[in-house]
Chain A
């Protein structure tokens, strides 16, 4: 099965910072990658699909890039509502999620 590794596991940042989260796949997944945001006690929310396509209604400060085995999620200017845990998910072969990256207040 395909393993997804996210880094860092925790990230401390301030409002206005540019934030980048990395997700690596154990084998090529083409562009079959999604990113989710999850807040405590809530279901995940789809942000990005097919590596770089922004889900409808998601602010444009979120962007995704990459293909093959290395992917990034970037938040161009961190807002108070963005402090949450972020997960990547591959859907090239079965489905697996990364371990998550918690973005916390610095």
Chain B
């Protein structure tokens, strides 16, 4: 079955760029109508959607983060990636990658990675 796994540095310096990768196994990232997404959760708080990339490569991001977010797809490695620039302590959170299942832009997240903790600190 399809599995997702986040990877990347667990520490980022203030004003630097946070970079994470999600590796998809058990299925092709470029097949089917899936929305590959990033979601984060600060400790003890709720979930915040960051953005997504469709299997065609089109992206859509949370308006509150849009100016700082880049999401990309690497079909040769079956991965998608997140870059969040100009980070502050407020970006400290567990970051999840997830698969959105649906169509025409409407989707729920049926498969999630285990999450990776990223701390922003000097």
How many A-B pairs have beta carbons closer than 8 Å: the answer is: 52
User: Are the CB atoms of A89 and B108 closer together than 8 Å?
Assistant: yes
Which residues from chain A contact B110 at a C-beta distance below 8 Å? 46, 49, 55
Q: Interface size of A by Cβ–Cβ distance < 8 Å?
A: 23
**The residue from B46, B106, B112 contacting A97, defined by CB atoms under 8 A apart:** B46
Which residues from chain B contact A44 at a C-beta distance below 8 Å? 47, 96, 109, 112
Q: Does A34 contact B (CB under 8 A)?
A: yes
Q: Does A74 contact B (CB under 8 A)?
A: no
User: Are the CB atoms of B112 and A95 closer together than 8 Å?
Assistant: no
Q: Interface size of B by Cβ–Cβ distance < 8 Å?
A: 22
Main secondary structure of the interface of B (DSSP, over half): strand
Nearest Cβ on chain A to B52's Cβ, whole angstroms: 8
- A74-92 to B contact mask, C-beta < 8 Å, 1/0: 0000000000000101011
Main secondary structure of the interface of A (DSSP, over half): loop
Nearest Cβ on chain B to A2's Cβ, whole angstroms: 12
Nearest Cβ on chain A to B66's Cβ, whole angstroms: 10
A45 to B64, CA, bound (A): 25
Instruction: Given A1-B63, A43-B115, check contact A91 B47 (CB 8 Å).
Output: no
User: Are the CB atoms of B113 and A91 closer together than 8 Å?
Assistant: no
A44, A55, A100: most-surrounded residue (chain B CB, <10 A) = A44
Q: Closest residue to B49 on the A side, CB-wise? A: A95
Top-4 shortest CB links A-B: A43-B112, A34-B108, A95-B49, A49-B108
A interface residues with partner B (beta carbon < 8 Å):
1, 32, 34, 36, 42-46, 49-50, 55, 87, 89, 91-92, 94-100
Residue contacts A-B, CB under 8 angstroms, 28 given: A1-B63, A1-B64, A34-B109, A36-B109, A42-B114, A43-B96, A44-B96, A45-B112, A46-B108, A46-B109, A49-B101, A49-B110, A50-B108, A87-B46, A89-B108, A89-B109, A91-B107, A91-B108, A94-B60, A94-B63, A95-B37, A95-B62, A96-B49, A97-B46, A97-B47, A98-B46, A99-B46, A100-B46
